[in-house]
Amino acid sequence: MDLAYERLADRMHVVSLPLATRFRGVESREVALFSGAAGWGEWSPFLEYEPEEAARWLRAALEDADLERPALLRSAVPVNATLPAVAPSAVAEVLARYDGCRTVKVKVAERGQVLEDDVARVTEVRALLPDVRIRVDANGGWGIDEAETAVRALEHFDLEYVEQPCASVPELAELRSRLHRLAIPIAADESVRKASDPLLVARAGAADVLVVKAQPLGGIRAALAIVAEAGLPAVVSSALDSSVGLSMGAALAGALPALPYDCGLGTGALLTADVTASPLVPVGGSISAERVAPDAALLAEHAAAPERVEHWRERLAACLPHL
């Protein structure tokens, strides 16, 4: 391997953090952390992501570790609670982990489940928290007709918005046209962070809100530029990060000129361990926008197994040509 790879590999610390609730099919979250001149950056693309996509996440991690962040316009960021696709009986236990959050994002369209499961989950949230704001996230899991049926079944819960109900930009545009009388906004996530052109969804008039994530978009500065050019309100979210990664997202949210929605940066509450003794979890419905540095003892305690470290070293080598 060349010198650039060796230098990056020497700076990389891979940890495995257990989850309180199974999420995206996993019970622990592996992340790689890089130390740098400005602090620490996180690289945590999901394991199924190919090198070209994962390289954008790597670029963000290295930028965050090596460069000072843009100036903050706010020191704290309001966040939503994130509810995985759990049974109604488990809803109260999950939501209890989020202190003071006034918004709940409910995962829907889970593979192996049906619309009745989604309705039951949202019904339980509304029963437990009558005044909370509810948004649902389908992760592109519905076709157009399925999405229209689902939104009409959920509309009486006074939805704040529906996130990525369909996978493609043309589907989102068609659905938005069908649902315009309901006045329920459509938010785009995967159509921004996984797209070769993250601005296409805005130009196509296919969304009302952009969900932006610092890592998948290549860093805080790249995400700020996308939001500025899109001209749509933005919600900053995370990818089930450690507190280091959540801190990158919070810095992005803290630097945005406007922040009309609570951000999806409260997912530290889904971890039962973190890399800092003061994890970024919601307190009074917000998290700090300041940098987070991991504790050496916790890095050691949660270090991934040697074969998993080797896996991440191989990912690093595969991603470097795409930087």
Beta bridge partners of 186: 162
Q: At what angle do helices 243-255 and 51-66 cross, to 10 degrees?
A: 80
The size of the chain, in residues, is 323
The active-site residue, picked from 56, 105, 107, 135, is 107
Which pair of structure tokens corresponds to residue 170? 């043309």
Residue 194 falls in the annotated catalytic set: no
The active-site residue, picked from 29, 176, 213, 315, is 213
Residue 107 falls in the annotated catalytic set: yes
Residue 190: Cβ within 10 Å count: 18
Which pair of structure tokens corresponds to residue 148? 């229209």
Beta bridge partners of 135: 105
Q: Is 10 exposed, middle or buried (0-12, 13-18, 19+ CB in 10 A)?
A: exposed
Measured distance CA(151)–CA(287) in Å, rounded: 30
Measured distance CA(257)–CA(268) in Å, rounded: 25
Residues marked active site are found at: 107, 213
